[in-house]
Amino acid sequence: MKAKKLLILVTVLLFSVSCEDNLQEEPLSFLEESNSFKTSADATAALNAVYDRLKGIYGMTMIDLADLNGDECEVREENGGGSEIHKNLYNSGTRLFDVFYTNSYALIDRANRVIANVPGIPMDTKLRDQIVGEAKFMRALAYFNLVQAFGDVPLLTTVSNDVVNVEVPRDPADKVYAQIITDLLEAEKVLPLKYTAATEQGRATSGAAKGILAKVYLTRRQWVEATAKAKEVIDSDVYKLVPDFRDVYVPEKENGSEHIFSVQFSCVLPQYGSAMAENFAIYFSYPINLTGGSYQVVPAYAQSFSEGDYRKTVTVIEEKTIANGSVVKSRTGPHMDKYWDPLACGAGRARNNFIVIRYADVLLMYAEAINELGGPTADAYAAINQVRARARNGAQQGVLPDLKDLSQAQFRDAVFRERGLELSFEGHRRWDLLRTGRYVAQMQKLGITANEKHLLYPIPVQEIDVNPSLKQNPGY
């Protein structure tokens, strides 16, 4: 595959990072792998190079894949590529899919090299095991994204320097999921509960491995396992909901008590900044050159909040007060405000981290999994009602009252609705629609053509061109 061919030459060229809230990386000045894994510093630098690849998968790439192709996010017509994704007019040549596929396998290749080589380094054994565990966590995360997007994908778990034989077939999704689960189970055993040093912010923890594993089990409809794993995160006593929903997204409060795993962005240097703030900003409101973006809120979603739901105030806006005190009104409908950054450093250079998983997500997964085992219990109600209580923002229960006395089907619908209100524009929606069997119907409600073909994205034609063993998904 193209990703494999390209990565052989560049994988162990590691890039240095020097941002205050990004992982610190030490560059390696050599290409020979036999010389690259000698010391604990080499191991750390190689691991940081794996983390660095997350930026090519998350941010706007994941929003395009998982939110724009859903029923909450849309783009204005001038954004032709984005409109293709939202309206299911894409094809196997659409650039987004190749960018995502290539970056994912770049990360996997780097992770494989860490997993293969770090165990042979004479260094502190606890740190060595932890570094390998972090690499396994990220490999599992990349494969989880890939298998949700494309179904069967090549499963590469060993290092290959073969630049000639690049014919690698797709492996069954069940086999890929089995590897994901194995990696996460092994990772959770060696990762710490939390980190204390500022330079370690953003590294994977045992809670991150357990949280993603709960989501994998939920996707696989393994309700017992999903319930147990989510409960382990809850019982760890490491995470809690922040009192103010707005504080989940404020750049100054990143990596807080609710954040289980986030991709770290910083605007100190251009390559480390995130683009979400500008893409969602009302035009003439983004602080750099008063620009803005074409990404907006589907009007039906904006109208779906109950009266008094504080999350709407944080999520949906039609005007913005900017630094000089003036009010900029949207001329094109509702925008999304979760990623606002008044102190962005430049165009596409905001400070917003991308939250991969947070505690509210785990609570809702826990409630969902319990319900699927036989209906809602006291624990299931307690979990979802925690999320709803915060959304009241101090108001009395007349606004968003606690749920009670629901049938299994009613509770299932309630959890799905709550996930949409709580986790919108955070890279979950398409996967939730698919997982719950609602994708086709929800997209058709928007007047978008959707059928069985659209339950998987197409394998990028660029990858098939260089790897004839790849077979395309049906319909493409």
Q: What is the pLDDT of residues 250-285, one digit of tens each?
A: 999 999 999 999 999 998 888 899 999 999 999 999
Q: From CA 459, how far away is CA 72, in angstroms rounded?
A: 25
DSSP for residue 253 = G
Asked whether the beta carbons of 464 and 154 are under 8 A apart, the reply is no
Paired tokens of 335: 């925008």
List of the chain residues with pLDDT < 50: 1-31
pLDDT at position 8, please? 35
Q: From CA 264, how far away is CA 58, in angstroms rounded?
A: 10
* C-beta neighbour count of 256 within 10 angstroms: 16
Q: Report the chain's terminal Cα–Cα distance, integer Å.
A: 19
pLDDT at position 196, please? 87
Q: What is the pLDDT of residues 176-209, one digit of tens each?
A: 999 999 999 999 999 999 998 988 999 999 999 9
* C-beta neighbour count of 449 within 10 angstroms: 12
Model confidence, pTM: 0.92
pLDDT at position 268, please? 83
Q: What is the pLDDT of residues 418-470, one digit of tens each?
A: 999 999 999 999 999 999 999 999 999 999 999 999 999 999 999 999 999 99
Q: Helices 206-219 and 173-190 meet at what angle, rounded to 10? A: 160
Give how far Cα 347 sits from Cα of 273, 279, 286, 287, 315, Å: 9, 10, 9, 9, 22
* C-beta neighbour count of 25 within 10 angstroms: 20
Dihedrals phi, psi of 125, to nearest 5 degrees: -65, -35
Q: From CA 336, how far away is CA 326, in angstroms rounded?
A: 19
Q: Which residues of 347-365 are buried (b: 16+ CB within 10 A; e: fewer)?
A: ebbbbbbbbbbbbbbbbbb
Q: From CA 354, how far away is CA 54, in angstroms rounded?
A: 10
pLDDT at position 463, please? 96
Residue ranges covered by each domain of the chain: 2-191+455-466, 270-352
Rounded percentage of the chain residues whose pLDDT exceeds 70: 92
Fold assignment, 2-191+455-466 = 1.25.40
Residue with tokens 């390559």: 271
Beta bridge partners of 295: 75
Q: From CA 50, how far away is CA 141, in angstroms rounded?
A: 12
